[in-house]
Structure 1
Amino acid sequence: MEKIVEIDGLTKVFRNKRGIHNVSMTVERGDVYGFFGPNGAGKTTVMKIMTGLSRAEKGKAKLFGFDVSTQYEQAMAKVGVLIETAEAYTYMSGRKNLELAARFYPDLEKQRLDEVLELVGLEKYQHEKVSQYSLGMKQRLGIASAILSKPELLILDEPTNGLDIEGMVQIREIILRLAKEERITFLISSHLIHEMELMCSRIGIIYDGKLICEGLQNELLAGRFDSLEELFLYEISEERRGVAHV
């Protein structure tokens, strides 16, 4: 299977001593990879490094075989990104925001805007100002902007954070639909383990800045655990026990 994301030994420590330590992970083509961990575990730091928004002290990040730090344009050419909150001009309509984003892609076909609005379920609300959008609608608009260029990899940081149950279900359905219809590979971070369980084929668990578990969800559970929650609690317990014995 083709490796889309290759992270090798990423390390970055902040002044408060928090950060990430020797993180290595792989996302293969076709994965819906759930990058799971508590708030502050290091998920966003890893994502910012792999998208060039931050620099690691050690280690490498490759996308599609290109080193992000030395071959940035090639690495990011087929990547869509939504990190932290979805930003938009609230005084403009959803469609106007997408038209503005489309200017970065001169070869984009005109009907692509209609396609992404339909894909994320905003076609009925495309002419409303973003100031009138709910949080879930803003997240959907952010995803629409991220997929405009038909990326092969979509990196989403906490896409369901702050949403109500209906909003979470809508975002989950959009991700699964894009994975099937647009054949997009996903790297999704979250601290909501139930959401990860419902939509992700591969799982990586990060805790205290260290990746402590990674693999296909069905293989990780494999009759040993009834849920990802049980797996997570077991891995955390083992990690703490290991730290205690150091």
Structure 2
Amino acid sequence: MEYVIEVSGLTKKYSNNRGIENMSFNVAKGEIYGFFGPNGSGKTTLMKILTGLCKADKGQALLFGYDISSQFELAMAQVGCLIETADAYTYMSGYQNLVLAARFYPSLPRKRVDEVLELVGLAPFAKEKVGHYSLGMKQRLGLASALLSSPQLVILDEPTNGMDIEGMVDVRETIIQLAREQGITFFISSHLIREMELMCSRIGIVNQGKFLKEASRSDLLESPHESLEQYFLAQIAEERERVSYV
């Protein structure tokens, strides 16, 4: 199996003792992999390490076989990402923001800007200033920016944050379509249980900085638990019992 992401023993501790501890997992090409856990469980920290925004204390992260810490440019060459919030120049239009971002990719055709705006449902608002966008529209613009370079791996941190139901459905269907038709790999963090259930082919469950369990959608459907929520709560209870026993 060809792995796009390979994480081995990643640890990052902050002064408040939060962070991640000894995380290990792999993500295969073409997967929609969900990284699921409550706020403060270490999801964003892990994603910042994967995109070079912070450095792990120990362990290794490979993207397309390249070490993110020592081969950053090679590792990130085929990666698009949206980490935490979607930043943009509020005095410029959505279209202008993407044209500016496109300057980082000299060979990118100008029509690609129009393509990604259409893809995320922002084409009707392309000429409107971002300062007038809702939070959900800004998230769509961030997703458009992540897709701009036609990456083979897209890393998204809470991509549906601030979106209404229609927006969440649109983004979910876009991600599923891109994975199925173009073979793009998605690594997505969220605390929204239902979105993970509907979108992801495999889900890694994290809590308090630890990687607890991994399961495919088919495994979850065959489990005695009626939903991912029940599965998650069962894993938390099991971990608490293990820790108290130790």
TM-score per shorter chain, which class? Answer: over 0.9
RMSD of the alignment, in Å?
1.2
Q: CA deviation at 1:137?
A: 1.2
Q: CA deviation at 1:194?
A: 0.8
Q: Count matched residues.
A: 246
Match of 2:113 in 1: 113
* Whole-Å separation in 2 of the counterparts to 1:119 and 1:162: 19
The answer to whether the 8 A contact 1:136-1:167 is kept is yes
Match of 2:71 in 1: 71
Q: CA deviation at 1:114?
A: 1.6
Match of 2:15 in 1: 15
Query: Superposition pairs for residues 57-136 of structure 1, below 5 Å?
Result: 57-136=57-136
Matched letter for residue 116 of structure 2? V
Q: CA deviation at 1:196?
A: 0.4
Query: Superposition pairs for residues 67-216 of structure 1, below 5 Å?
Result: 67-216=67-216
Match of 1:225 in 2: 225
Q: CA deviation at 1:103?
A: 0.3
How far does the alpha carbon of each residue in 1:4-53 deviate from its partner, in whole angstroms, 9 at most, with x for none? Answer: 00000001111111111100011101110110001000000000011111
The answer to whether the 8 A contact 2:136-2:161 is kept is no
Structure 1 unmatched ranges of 5 or more? none
* Whole-Å separation in 1 of the counterparts to 2:226 and 2:117: 37
The answer to whether the 8 A contact 2:220-2:227 is kept is no
Q: CA deviation at 1:165?
A: 2.3
Q: CA deviation at 1:66?
A: 0.3
Q: Which moved more, 1:168-177 or 1:131-140?
A: 168-177
Q: CA deviation at 1:226?
A: 1.9
* Whole-Å separation in 1 of the counterparts to 2:114 and 2:163: 25
> In structure 2, do the counterparts of structure 1 residues 245 and 221 end up closer, same or farther at CA, with 3 Å as the change threshold?
farther
Question: Structure 1 vs Structure 2: percent identity of aligned residues?
Answer: 64
* Whole-Å separation in 2 of the counterparts to 1:53 and 1:76: 12
Which segments of structure 1 move beyond 6 Å, counting only runs of 4 or more? none
Q: CA deviation at 1:109?
A: 1.4
TM-score, normalised to structure 1's length? 0.96
* Whole-Å separation in 1 of the counterparts to 2:164 and 2:127: 24
How far does the alpha carbon of each residue in 1:191-221 deviate from its partner, in whole angstroms, 9 at most, with x for none? Answer: 1111100100010000111100113121244
TM-score, normalised to structure 2's length? 0.96
Structure 2 unmatched ranges of 5 or more? none
Name the SS for the 2:25 alignment partner: strand
* Whole-Å separation in 1 of the counterparts to 2:208 and 2:63: 25
